[in-house]
Every structure is written in C-alpha cells, then in structure tokens.
Amino acid sequence: MSLKNLPACFILVSVTLFGSSLSAEELNVYFKTTPRIELLRPFADPIDLSLLITGVEGRPVKQGTVAIRLEAPRPGRFFSTDMPLVEGTLLNEMQLPLRQGRANWKQLFPIRGEYRLMVDVVTADGSKASKVLSFAVRENRQKWLALGAFSAGLFILGFVAGRVFTGARAGEVALIAAAVLLGGSAAISNAQQNTPAGPAILEIEPATVGKPSLVRWKLVNDGAADRSAALTLTITHLEKQKVVFAVEKIAVPGEWSMKFNFPDGAEYRVAAVGTISGRTPVRTEEVIAVTGVEPPLGATAPVLSCFVALIAAGLGVGRWTKRRAPALSRPLVS
C-alpha cells in the first residue's frame, strides 16, 4: 500500500469505528414531568411523563420508536419503604411510537427514592440514541410526622409500663410488645382473569408483587390484526381509585405489549380501548387480583428492632423515675 492512500484508509477506519457514536450524537433526548420533579411524592397522583426527541437542529423527529425501562429505587441502608418488594425491581418496560418527536404516558411512583429511566431511540432513518435518566421522589411529610408520632407513642407506652410494672413484669411487657410488633398475617389473593370473546383480547400474566407481568393487547377476527389502531390503556388501583399507569391513543400495528410491575397485593382494573378507522371503538377490560408476598426479614427486622428499642428505652426511663421518686420524697435526717 502506498503512502498516498494512508489518509483515505484512516478516514475509512474512523467512519467505521465511530459512525454509530456520531449518529447517536445527532439526537437529543429531553425528559419532563408534570408536576415538576421536586413536587413528586410516592403513591400520590399519577404523573405525566414526556420524552422529546430532536435532531441537532432542534426539530422534533417525525417518525421513530422509543424503548423505555423504568427501574424502582434500590433498597435503603436501614429503613425500607412502604413496599420493600418493589425496591430495585423493573417497574415498567415498553415501546412507544414517537408522535412529532414525543412519547407520553402516565405513571404513579409507588415508593420514595431515586428512579432510573433508560431510553433507547430508533428513528425512521436508522439514527439511534440512548440515555439513562435519574430523578428522585421524596417521601410525604405526613408520613414522617406519622412515624415521629408513632415512635413517640411507643416510647410513652414503655415509659408508662415501666412505672406501673416492676421487676420481671417489666421484662414481660417488653416481650409482649415485641410479639405484637412482630405478629401479622399476609393477605394472599389469586389472580383472576376472564377474557371475553370479541374483536380484541387483553392478556395479563398472573401478577405477583415484585415481579413484572406481561400485559398484551391484540386485535383478532375479520383480519383486524393486520390493521393499525389507536390504543388507550389504563391500569387503575381499585381500592384507592388511583390510575397507576396510562397511555393514550398510541399508534399500534394491531398488537401492543409491555411488562408492568403491580406494586401491591390489591385488585387492579386494566382497561383498553382500541380505535380503528371506520369501525366502532373496541373496549376490553380485566380485573385482576395481585398475589401479595410477605416482605423479607431483612426489610422488616431493622424497623421492628428500632420500635422495640424505643419501648425498651421508655421502660428503662419509667422504672428509673419510679425508683427515684421515693428517694427524693424521703425527709432529710439531721
């Protein structure tokens, strides 16, 4: 090879090695929540999430898809959240079509902590981009106040018991209080599905807390599966009457699926409405009972230990004040 061809070879190798990274840099990924991230609270209200994909010139891409993975916060160092089985798990995995460069959906965040949103974009012309976004959801102030009040109540309970009981009885009270805190029963329910016959079916895997379940919607009969539809799918927590997930009028080629992690052992309604051009909207609905699971000992032991320690501290202070009172009331001997 002559020296004259070296620059051309160098350019060819550079394009081959770095072409994919250059194409990724041609796309910008913007993430927005409504309300703002600072105002988000766990299990409050569904949040409007939006992704905007633009080119280097700032214009939204016309066509493409975005693959989305949402991961729950990892377990804390000491105190767990209200739903320890959800910590560190996959909450949602789906693929949405871009409409004017945007992808929108609603999501209810079940617990406090730092969430991770992984985004992979593919446009119609083959351009790709990936981005990992992190954002934090703070705990409700009311829960911290409730925790403080409950802790103070346990200490007062121990204090009163320490003054009322003495000797071995004080130890018995501590054991009884610990047994009450450690006791409990798990509410286990079985998933129930009744798929009605019709132009569309809604399939949901048996749901268990902490494990993503496949949710699949599909058009059937009369060749409808080959036709595109605008799909609106909503998942509602029936006991709390809160929407935990929703997408509205997304363009699907007759079928759409996702993985969704139901956060607690309760009943949920999954409703889907498919709109096909020239036809009556197709509605399907399922009510499922999510199987609850007993939280691991590693999540409950630190909290229970803290509560038992508060009762024990109250017992100690109560006994000390009870024994000190007679000594202070004795008259001084001259």
Structure tokens that stand for 114 in this block = 């730092």
Indicate the SS3 state at residue 89: coil
Ranking 162-176, 296-310, 314-328 by mean pLDDT, the lowest is: 162-176
Residue 102 in contact with residue 50, Cβ under 8 Å? yes
Query: Does the pLDDT of residue 260 top 80, yes or no?
Result: yes
β pairing state of 90-97 and 47-55: unpaired
Residue 98 in contact with residue 59, Cβ under 8 Å? no
Per-residue pLDDT at 4: 47
Q: Rounded distance, CA 317 to CA 295, Å?
A: 33
Q: Which residues sit opposite 34 in a β-bridge?
A: 48
Q: Rounded distance, CA 75 to CA 86, Å?
A: 9
Banded model confidence at residue 172, pLDDT cuts 50, 70, 90: low
Per-residue pLDDT averaged across 107-136, rounded?
Answer: 94
Q: Where are the domains positioned within the chain? A: 24-139, 142-186+295-321, 200-289
* Cis status of the peptide bond prior to 75, with omega within 30 of 0: no
- Each residue of 51-64: pLDDT tens digit? 999 998 889 998 99
Q: Hey, which CATH number is domain 24-139, 2.40.110.10, 3.40.50.720, 2.40.50.100, 2.60.40.1940?
A: 2.60.40.1940
Residue 193 in contact with residue 182, Cβ under 8 Å? no
Between 96 and 143, whose confidence is greater? Answer: 96
Q: Which residues sit opposite 267 in a β-bridge?
A: 289
Query: Does the pLDDT of residue 278 top 90, yes or no?
Result: no
CATH class label, 200-289: mainly beta
277 φ, ψ (degrees, to nearest 5): -60, 125
Task: Supply the DSSP string of 135-200, one letter for each residue.
Answer: EEEPPPHHHHHHHHHHHHHHHHHHHHHHHH--THHHHHHHHHHHHHHH---------------SSE
Per-residue pLDDT at 144: 59
Q: Rounded distance, CA 66 to CA 121, Å?
A: 4
Is the CA virtual torsion 29, 30, 33, 36 positive or negative?
A: positive
Structure tokens that stand for 170 in this block = 């004080």
Per-residue pLDDT averaged across 65-80, rounded?
Answer: 86
Q: Rounded distance, CA 56 to CA 59, Å?
A: 8
Per-residue pLDDT at 221: 65
Between the ranges 3-12, 74-83, 131-140, where is the mean pLDDT highest? 131-140
Q: In this prediction, what percent of the chain has a pLDDT beyond 90?
A: 46
Q: Do domains 24-139 and 200-289 have the same CATH topology?
A: yes
183 by Cβ neighbours in 10 Å (0-12 / 13-18 / 19+) ranks as exposed
- Each residue of 288-314: pLDDT tens digit? 999 988 766 655 666 666 777 777 777
Q: Rounded distance, CA 261 to CA 223, Å?
A: 32
68 CB-near residues (< 8 Å, 6+ apart): 51, 92, 93, 94, 95, 96, 103, 117, 118, 119
Query: Does the pLDDT of residue 132 top 50, yes or no?
Result: yes
pTM over 0.75: no
The chain-wide mean pLDDT, for the chain, equals 78
Q: In this prediction, what percent of the chain has a pLDDT beyond 70?
A: 69
Query: Does the pLDDT of residue 6 top 80, yes or no?
Result: no
